[in-house]
């Protein structure tokens, strides 16, 4: 079910600061509209500031992201929530370097990646890995799982024999059978392929992970298994992650903080439980109203 609100209601969610909401209909949030996420001491792993993405040019241009600010602390997971067309996947692609921003900055580990040369940019991008929504389309059906994971380790010279122990270990970590290394993608279920995609994203030990709608194509029981796996790995590995979903119930189970995106604008953000307990923006309330109840997930 899709959440719908009138454009006139799309304005920054003003927190309880003693001020009244602005009459402006702009979706651009003011500082008072955003709850500060909790971060450990030290620089955040990811800082996105004033990020714009425009597709096309002239009268045909479309501004997909509008001055987006997102911060992910080291070892923390931020849930990015919004309907289809809100700009979630565009932001994900900008983070991994497949979409070029029109303005703004992206800092990973304190380094502004937009100021780097091509070689340095490629090196830092390896520190950021995406787990895709549809692992089947991202896995070459002609290659075994071992070959797919070996390519992630060494794209130029993938060698299953050389990296077999590493690949086998990561398949074990995501609770896949040992013989998966010699089998092909079509031999596995959707949930198993998502586990393989998680292993492929993590075996290079990235500093930051973008999980893009990784449970959206799975039924509820399999979603629970994948969410349990993600929750366990983020604890054990201390992962820093942007977890993208249209489902607020899913995001609640894995995220420390949540960012709500509407038509390319951040309209609300803050610690997850605060946003769920007291949503300030009408769009956030509409998204919550569209979820009849949290699915029966049990996070270990």
Greater confidence, 5 or 183? Answer: 183
Greater confidence, 235 or 3? Answer: 235
Residues 6+ apart with CB under 8 A from 8: 25
pLDDT of residue 243: 97
Q: Does residue 258 belong to any structural domain of this protein?
A: yes
Q: Does residue 130 belong to any structural domain of this protein?
A: yes
What is the SS3 string spanning the chain? Answer: CCCCCCHHHCCCCCCCCCCCCCCCCCCCCCHHHCCCCCCCCCCCCEEEEEEEEEECCHHHCEEEEEEEEEEECCCCEEEEECCCCCCHHHHHHHHHCCCCCCEEEEEECCEEHHHCCHHHHHHHHCCEEEECCCHHHHCCCCCCHHHHHHHHHCCCCCCHHHHHHHHHHHHHHCCCCHHHHHCCHHHCCHHHHHHHHHHHHHCCCCCEEEEECCCCCCCHHHHHHHHHHHHHHHHHHCCCEEEEECCHHHHHHHCCEEEEEECCEEEEEEEHHHHHHCCCCHHHHHHHHCCCCCCCCCCC
Burial 105-122 (b: 16+ CB within 10 A, else e): ebbbbeeebeeeeeeeee
Please give the structure tokens belonging to residue 158.
Answer: 């993938």
Residue with tokens 């070959």: 147
Q: Does residue 191 belong to any structural domain of this protein?
A: yes
Residue percentage of the chain with pLDDT more than 70:
83
pLDDT of residue 292: 59
pLDDT of residue 134: 84
CA–CA distance, 300 with 297 (Å, rounded to integer): 10
Q: Does residue 156 belong to any structural domain of this protein?
A: yes
Average pLDDT over residues 107-132: 82
CATH code for the domain in which residue 71 is found = 3.40.50.300
pLDDT for 37 beyond 60? no
Structural domain of 136: 46-290
Q: Does residue 9 belong to any structural domain of this protein?
A: no
Q: Does residue 21 belong to any structural domain of this protein?
A: no
Q: Does residue 38 belong to any structural domain of this protein?
A: no
Q: Does residue 27 belong to any structural domain of this protein?
A: no
Instruction: Name the domain count of the chain.
Output: 1
| pLDDT tens sequence across 210-266 | 999 999 888 888 999 999 999 999 989 999 999 999 888 889 889 999 999 999 999
Q: Are strands 241-245 and 208-212 parallel, antiparallel or unpaired?
A: parallel
pLDDT of residue 250: 87
Label residue 149 by pLDDT band (50, 70, 90): very high
pLDDT of residue 133: 86
Residue 275 phi, psi (nearest 5): -65, -40
């Amino acid at each position: 079910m899709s959440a719908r609100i009138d454009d006139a209601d799309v304005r920054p969610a003003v927190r309880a600061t003693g001020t009244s909401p602005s009459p402006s209909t702009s979706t651009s949030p003011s500082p008072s509209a955003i709850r500060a996420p909790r971060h450990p001491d030290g620089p955040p792993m990811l800082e996105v500031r004033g990020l714009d993405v425009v597709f096309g040019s002239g009268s045909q241009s479309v501004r997909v992201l509008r001055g987006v600010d997102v911060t992910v602390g080291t070892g923390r997971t931020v849930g990015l929530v919004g309907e289809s067309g809100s700009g979630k996947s565009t932001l994900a692609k900008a983070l991994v370097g497949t979409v070029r921003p029109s303005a703004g900055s992206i800092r990973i580990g304190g380094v502004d990646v937009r100021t780097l040369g091509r070689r340095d940019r490629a090196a830092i991008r390896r520190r950021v890995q995406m787990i895709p929504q549809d692992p089947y389309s991202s896995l070459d059906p002609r290659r075994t799982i071992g070959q797919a994971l070996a390519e992630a380790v060494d794209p130029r010279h993938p060698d299953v024999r050389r990296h077999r122990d590493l690949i086998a270990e990561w398949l074990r970590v995501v609770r896949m059978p040992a013989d998966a290394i010699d089998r092909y993608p079509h031999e596995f279920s959707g949930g198993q392929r998502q586990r393989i995609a998680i292993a492929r994203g993590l075996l290079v030990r990235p500093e930051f992970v973008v999980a893009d709608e990784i449970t959206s194509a799975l039924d509820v029981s399999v979603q629970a298994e994948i969410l349990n796996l993600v929750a366990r790995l983020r604890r054990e590995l201390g992962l820093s992650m942007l977890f993208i979903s249209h489902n607020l119930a899913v995001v609640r189970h894995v995220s420390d903080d949540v960012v709500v995106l509407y038509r390319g604008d951040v309209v609300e953000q803050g610690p997850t439980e605060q946003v769920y307990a007291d949503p300030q923006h009408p769009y956030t309330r509409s998204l919550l109203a569209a979820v009849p109840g949290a699915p029966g997930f049990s996070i270990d």
